[in-house]
Amino acid sequence: MSMRTASAPAKTISAAQAAALVKSGDWLDYGACLVEPDVFDQALAARAHELTAVSIRSSLATKPRAVLECDPEGKHFHWFTWHYSAYERAKSDAGICYHMPPNLGEIDDYYRRFIDPIDLVAVKVRPADADGYFNAGLSSGWLRAIVERAKTLIVETSTAVPWVYGVGNAVHISEVDYIIEGDNAPLAELKNPAISEVDRVIARTLAAEVEDGACLQIGIGGMPNAVCSLLRDSGVKDLGVHTEMLTDGLIELYRAGVVTGARKQLDPGKLVFTFGQGSRFMYETVDRNPDMLCCDVAYTNLPHIIMQNHKVVSINSTMQMDLQGQAASETDGHRHISGAGGQLQFVRGAYASRGGKSFLCMSSVFEKKGVRKSRIVLNLTPGNIVTTPRMDTMYVVTEYGMVNLKGKSVPDRARAMIALAHPDFREELERQAFENRLIPRAFYRSKASDNSPVTV
């Protein structure tokens, strides 16, 4: 772990004194997710009328940010984020939040190679331990990179931050310029969405693909929660975890004894992740738990590391796919929804793993303004960003079955994707595929007749 050295011994100051260090035109960094500061943020917002063009990098904001709430027109603060939370999506819709597209596992490198030194970094951490380390709990991510690149480093202490074993999720007091006392308020919790019947159907397909000793990367949402619920009672044994985000579903599998990590090639016995957010139950489970290992995002997300575990199973959601297998998982046209995160890196890492599988999952239809639409389309919505290219897509799953696109021709891909679409849209999709030469005349039927689930 590369260490930064502060210019003078760390000094304890008030949040107002810390905020007074910020100048117009400065670049700040709040880290990501649960390390974002609160009392510093409030103190900085109180100075809004004195400042202009203060830019702040963040990711997955877990609660309303004072600097945005006090500045609804973005006259004083500019907010940039690597991945949208629901809150940041709303602020983007309001025109005061902007996306920075990453492969999440590369962000360390962006800071070290391409981003200028940061004027001020402020992050929330646990009070220093006897060895002088401030533990950042469930958030490692790119913490070490922003610490190294900070001109001024401020830590905001909070006893609510759990102490988590890790590599890269701590800051030593010798690196710190200023310490401010936080409010010790409970960490923000992430509510799990309800599980739909479509989620359950997709989950049953996925759970059947998970073998004893598989190593899981799984996202958040109703469908991943359903997968975890099914795995808990499936009889599968010795699952491992090497994931980007630690979720309540994975914690439940661990508490049930289904996740042991006993067969992992990397970090056997450990649940490896780069950040986590969920319920208080999760925060209590990870606190001083030696089975948990919170690691730098380059370690969790780079494909050449992911692939070193065997039987990696990567499960991610997408919002729209075309007939050739391109997956758009981030946007609705030009409206930004979330981010690429580590989807592509885990798709590639799982594929390269011995016995590995990657799955992209979605419901076949969705409703928009009262109109039901197919998620499987001839052409992606104009403005939609391709998160996973067609040549990387492996398994695709909807409630109508599962297909593997690896090694398939364009006509075979189109026919396989059409079979995953809702029956009400298949005939039109097939006609469009034929008219645009994705399906040759020999393969074309005048109307879609086979509406049964398919596994290819």
Catalytic residues: 244
Q: How far apart are CA 81 and CA 92, in angstroms?
A: 10
The 8 Å CB, 24+ separation contacts for 439-448 are 439/411, 439/414, 439/415, 440/411, 443/411, 443/415, 448/418, 448/423
What Rg, from alpha-carbon coordinates, does the chain have?
23
- Please give the full DSSP string across 204-263, using - where no structure is assigned: HHHHTTPPTT-EEEE--SHHHHHHHHHHHTS----BEEE-SEE-HHHHHHHHTTSB--TT
Could you tell me how many residues make up the chain? 456
The three-state (H, E, C) secondary structure of 286-316, written as one string: HCCCCCEEEEEHHHHHCHHHHCCCCCEEEEE
Which residues, including other chains, have CB under 8 Å from residue 15's CB and lie 6 or more apart? 39, 40, 42, 43, 156, 180
Closest CA to 34 of 98, 123, 106, 102: 123
Q: How far apart are CA 301 and CA 192, in angstroms?
A: 24
Which residues, including other chains, have CB under 8 Å from residue 428's CB and lie 6 or more apart? none
Q: How far apart are CA 117 and CA 115, in angstroms?
A: 7
Q: Is 422 helix (H, G, I), strand (E, B) or coil?
A: coil
Partners of 79 in the beta sheet? 56, 97
Closest CA to 292 of 275, 311, 307, 279: 275
Looking up tokens 């928009």 gives 368
Q: What is the DSSP letter of 192?
A: P
Instruction: Tell me the CB-side half-sphere exposure of residue 338, using CA atoms within 13 A.
Output: 16
Tokens representing 161 are 């931050």
Cβ neighbours around 36 below 10 Å, total? 25
Q: How far apart are CA 190 and CA 220, in angstroms?
A: 10
What sections of 302-440 are H helices per DSSP?
303-306, 343-352, 410-420, 423-435
Exposed/middle/buried for 137, CB within 10 Å: 0-12, 13-18, 19+?
buried
